[in-house]
Amino acid sequence: MSFELTGKCSRTKARTGIVSTPHGKFRTPVFMPVGTRGTVKAMSPAELTELGAEIILGNTYHLFLKPGMEIMSLAGGLHKFAAWDKPILTDSGGFQVFSLAGLRKIKKDGVEFSSHIDGTRFFLGPVESIKIQRTLGSDIVMAFDECTPYPCTFEEALKSLEITTRWEKISREQLLDPGQMMFGIVQGSVYKELREKSASELVSIGFDGYAIGGLSVGEPSADMMRCIDWTVPVLPEDQPRYLMGVGLPRQIAEAVSRGIDMFDCVIPTRLARHGTAFASDGSTIAIKAGRCAKDFSPIDENCTCYACRNFSRAYIRHLLNVGEILGVRLLSIHNLHFYINLMRRIREAIGAGSLPELIESLSPE
């Protein structure tokens, strides 16, 4: 793996770069569509490629449960199984320690889960997580961590961070396949002392890149940005920085201006499944609303995606209202096109020194 810085913004901390992996390169800043169970919902790999996606995400916890590692091994790894020949990043399952809190028990060496599918008990810790990610064959492997809820006290965040740091150190000690790289994950809730402590300790361990986790879990956007401001100066300049699970268009652009390179979020496809589309300024449009029933204009007049070139709001609303899967697919295509195109606009703005103006043009949350 290599990360090459290709440019810096003259007015912010934003930068552009290229990450090289065994399955190809991707440009940063980048948005990674989320394919939790081995697919980006409602999308084919060919459609993602046409949209310009250069890397996607998979999830260790969910793929471990179904289809399971025996099938994944027989298939030759996630790339072959999912017919995706570009880079893949896999989450470690650490987020599920947070999101499935009612189904797990934290122990010294990992987490004992009750499967959300059938209640079967299994153990997932740093050793198991990295072994699963080796079987998946992802290009970027995430260290195993614990994500704190919001709000939590300083003492709760400190206790969680101590667990996370131990787990991430064990993760780093595990064997990876040639070409795989591992990112550490900075935690510490919304506390400056803990964020800096976490980042410093992870840099001492030494990873191929660094993620900022534990955000977009209910905290105000201003707190999110403060955590980024505290963390980025501690991280190496010559390695990628990844803000996990974020987010809304303006949040992404603001984070880029603070030095973040990589993003993922379920928002584009999740909102599509609920009948919501993004406009070119980052605001949202409720396509299922009654006002769209006789609106024969495209989702967004400024968009050139397949959905906007060929179909009207009225038609897509009709599809959604009668339960036709094409409606969800068209909105997914549109929303992912918007996000991937937003990253292109951001990269261009970094080069032109106009990122602050782009940020101001995006709808506030």
pTM for the model: 0.96
139: annotated active-site residue = no
At 233-257, the pLDDT tens digits run 999 999 999 999 999 999 999 999 9
Residue % of the chain over a pLDDT of 70: 100
pLDDT at 113: 87
Q: How many C-alpha atoms does 344 have within 13 Å on its Cβ side? A: 10
Average pLDDT of the segment spanning 20-31 = 98
pLDDT above 80: residue 98: no
* Domains of the chain listed by start with CATH number: 2-264 (3.20.20.105), 266-360 (no CATH)
Determine phi and psi for 111, rounding to 5 degrees. Answer: -130, 135
Q: How confident is the model at residue 5 (pLDDT cuts 50, 70, 90)?
A: very high
Residue environment code for 234-264, b if the CB has 16+ CB neighbours within 10 A, otherwise e = bbeeebbbbbbbbbbbbbbbbbbbbbbbbbb
Q: How far apart are the first and last CA of the chain?
A: 35
Tokens of 304: 């050139």
Contact 6/17 with Cβ under 8 angstroms?
Answer: yes
Cα angle value 315/344/180 (rounded, 5°): 110
27 DSSP β-pair partners: 18
pLDDT above 80: residue 75: yes
Q: How confident is the model at residue 109 (pLDDT cuts 50, 70, 90)?
A: very high
Average pLDDT of the segment spanning 202-211 = 98
Sheet holding 104-107, edge to edge: 104-107, 110-114, 121-124
Q: Which of 139, 145, 208, 264 is catalytic?
A: 264
Sheet holding 2-8, edge to edge: 2-8, 15-21, 24-28
- With a CB cutoff of 8 Å and minimum separation 6, the contacts of 355 are 9, 11, 12, 14, 253, 256, 257, 346, 349
Q: Give the C-alpha distances (Å, rounded to integers) separating 43 from 60, 133, 249.
A: 20, 23, 21
Contact 241/203 with Cβ under 8 angstroms?
Answer: no
Q: CA 360, CA 339: separation in Å to the nearest integer?
A: 17
pLDDT at 91: 95
pLDDT, greater one: 104 or 341: 341
Q: How confident is the model at residue 271 (pLDDT cuts 50, 70, 90)?
A: very high
Sheet holding 262-265, edge to edge: 30-33, 262-265, 241-243, 209-212, 181-186, 140-142, 88-91, 56-59
> 137: alpha, beta or left, given left = phi > 0 and alpha = psi -120 to 50?
left
Place of tokens 């782009």: 358
pLDDT above 90: residue 100: no
Neighbours of 123 (CB within 10 A): 13
Q: CA 101, CA 216: separation in Å to the nearest integer?
A: 17
pLDDT at 19: 98
Q: CA 172, CA 325: separation in Å to the nearest integer?
A: 42
Residue % of the chain over a pLDDT of 90: 92
pLDDT at 103: 83
pLDDT above 90: residue 101: no
pLDDT at 27: 98
At 119-145, the pLDDT tens digits run 889 899 999 999 999 999 999 999 999
85: annotated active-site residue = no
pLDDT above 90: residue 96: no
Report the relative pairing of strands 30-33 and 110-114 from DSSP bridges. Answer: unpaired
Average pLDDT of the segment spanning 154-158 = 97
Q: Which of 85, 91, 281, 300 is catalytic?
A: 91
Determine phi and psi for 295, rounding to 5 degrees. Answer: -95, 105
What is the DSSP code (8-state) at residue 209?
E
Determine phi and psi for 300, rounding to 5 degrees. Answer: -140, 125
Average pLDDT, the chain: 96
142 DSSP β-pair partners: 183
Q: CA 278, CA 290: separation in Å to the nearest integer?
A: 17
Contact 253/355 with Cβ under 8 angstroms?
Answer: yes
For the CA atoms of the chain, what is the radius of gyration? 20
